[in-house]
Structure 1
Amino acid sequence: MNVWQRFQQLQQRRKGRKQDKRDEQGMRQQWFLLAGKHNGAAYPQPQQLTPLYPPADCFWADPFLWSKDGRYFIFFEDFPYATWRGIISVIEIDEQGKQISEPRPVLEEAYHLSYPFLFEYDGQLYMMPEKCSQKRVDIYRCDEFPHRWSQVSTLIDNLKIVDSTLFEHDGKWWLFAAAKQGRVRINESLFAFYADSPLSNTWTPHPLNPLVRDLTRGRPAGRIVRHSQGQLLRPAQDCLRRYGYGVHLQEITQLTTTAYQEQTVWSGLAPEINHTWRAMHHLDQHKGMMVMDAQRLLPMAESVV
């Protein structure tokens, strides 16, 4: 992206913020979840998913799926407006995406938590929640599913980093994330690090960091998956109009320790999918199920208990 393109993006974002201030007077943003079967479609179909609405005094966002013994669970950021500090909670859903249990807190710290990325390694389930205020990336081991977790490792320290996402590719483990570094902003960035193990304490930064600096497709938006036809697909946030305005799927066409290329293969902007949605910034797929999130506005009186 050249200087002129970046200037245009920042101008569009400023214009969007002014409009948002007018639209949000007397209103409160509320993120909610969308869940359902993947149905084998090549790309997401958010309008076919079941909305899961939180109580009016909080929002739910950043959902990650996991299945165990034929049951499906969603781990997510549970953000009470009263405390203004996210915790990680879990709910169970059925195969149609309907909620069949009450939310249960599974991880809480004295600081904000979000983006509870889940992965399995050597038969053990781990969680890597975002803790941007602490400037580090920590790993928690699941000691008793789904509600007992203990911290076991720190992957990256002393970096303001969000939406950290792990995946294996060509014999290496990769950590993709957005980060604040110098003049590079979180909502426009994609940084990459690599190691031999997902539990490593030594991660090598990619020499091209940031791999992406673009408000329309930089910041990660969920788990990176390999499509049935072999494509490596990276969900990315579109933060041009506003934070989390939409989700794009980026096909990673080249990834080595010295090179990176990607191309957009699907785009979903929230208001174009549902006129009542003002944002949509996360996507996860697991064992034939899909989960996303979206945002609506509620009158302030309705969101205060």
Structure 2
Amino acid sequence: MKKNILTKSISLLFLIALPFAAGLMTGKLRGIPFIMTRGEYSIGIYVGDSPFDLKPHSEAVNPVITARDVTDIPADFVADPFLIQENGSWYMFFEIFNSSTDQGDIGLAVSTDGKIWDYDRVVLNESFHLSYPYIFKWEGDYYMIPESKEAFSVNLYKAEQFPYAWKQVRTLLKGNYSDPSIIHYNDRWWIFVAERNDILRLFYSGSLEGDWTEHPQSPVVLHNLRIARPSGRVIDLGDTLVRFTQDCEQVYGEKVNAFMITELTPE
């Protein structure tokens, strides 16, 4: 990891996309029959006084959203949730893996209290796989950057009618990038993207829809499965930024770590 970009590691013990057993799968491996449980992903709600002190919500029943809640498409699993609040309601955008098309679509669930959630509908469906719907508000408008590496691009969408209608307004980056995570900090926009599970690249721009430049020290993480791939929203705590990562060293998304970004400059 290169200096001036990412430094101190913090242990973080919560999972928002939760695997659970959903049946049995049988087959043969090198001619030998096997039987194993088939895992799915679901979505749970955890709360706490800080991002580093989280526990299951005492008044919520986890998981709050599963594939069985999806009513408009056949769903294998749900994952990659992002939350945003508007006019007293919570909106959860997340990946739904559509079993009829073998690709991810972006779904929506709504809650008035953050504890009880109602599935609404698919709000974004493209001809390619979508996941990781990183949603944010900027200058009164809502934007979303879902993962779209199957299209070899990082695309910016803007809400024409929040939360249901979205239009792609710009391609920010071209490349085979996973889990794009954006933040506005010190008058610049910054995007962290994973190239494979062990490489993290960093780009910056003076404006959201402007031209993007790769940081001269990018890739900022190289050949490290534990700390490269993003795992959620980059948080601005005022005096520092916190970037969440998936630990993929043993198993994809086995756990989540948090890293303080103590200095972030274009040099």
Of all paired residues, the percent bearing the same amino acid is 33
Give yes or no for the alignment of 1:139 onto 2:156: yes
Shift of 1:196: 0.3
Residue 204 of structure 2 corresponds to: 194
Shift of 1:188: 1.1
Aligned length: 227
Q: Distance in 2 between matches of 1:122 and 1:136?
A: 25
Q: Distance in 2 between matches of 1:80 and 1:28?
A: 17
Paired residue for 2:181, among 165, 181, 189? Answer: 165
Say which SS state the counterpart of residue 150 (structure 2) adopts.
Answer: helix
Q: 1:72–1:96: structure 2 CA closer, same or farther, 3 Å change rule? A: closer
Give yes or no for the alignment of 1:111 onto 2:120: no
1:199-210 superposed matches below 5 A: 199-200=209-210, 202-210=211-219
Q: Distance in 1 between matches of 2:51 and 2:232?
A: 17
Paired residue for 1:124, among 136, 141, 147? Answer: 141
Q: 1:166–1:66: structure 2 CA closer, same or farther, 3 Å change rule? A: same
Q: Distance in 2 between matches of 1:68 and 1:96?
A: 12
Cα pair 1:35 1:98 within 8 Å, conserved: no
**Root mean square deviation of aligned Cα:** 2.1
Task: Give structure 2 stretches of 5+ with no counterpart.
Answer: 2-28, 69-74
Cα pair 1:34 1:46 within 8 Å, conserved: no
Shift of 1:44: 4.3
Task: Give structure 1 stretches of 5+ with no counterpart.
Answer: 2-20, 180-185, 259-305
TM-score, length of structure 2 as denominator length: 0.79
Cα pair 2:48 2:55 within 8 Å, conserved: no
Residue 75 of structure 1 corresponds to: 93
Shift of 1:255: 1.6
Residue 105 of structure 2 corresponds to: 87
Say which SS state the counterpart of residue 255 (structure 1) adopts.
Answer: coil
Say which SS state the counterpart of residue 160 (structure 2) adopts.
Answer: strand
Paired residue for 1:241, among 237, 245, 250? Answer: 250
Deviations 1:81-127 (A, max 9, x none): 3432110000012424221x224100001111001111222211111
More strand by share: 2
TM-score, length of structure 1 as denominator length: 0.69
Deviations 1:40-85 (A, max 9, x none): 2351424447422413552111111011110001000011334321
Q: Which amino acid aligns with 1:245?
A: E
More helix by share: 1
Give yes or no for the alignment of 1:52 onto 2:64: yes
Q: Distance in 2 between matches of 1:41 and 1:203?
A: 32
- Ranked by relative contact order (alpha carbons within 8 Å, sequence separation 6 or more), the top structure is 1
Q: 1:53–1:119: structure 2 CA closer, same or farther, 3 Å change rule? A: closer
Q: Distance in 2 between matches of 1:225 and 1:189?
A: 21
Q: Distance in 2 between matches of 1:153 and 1:255?
A: 25
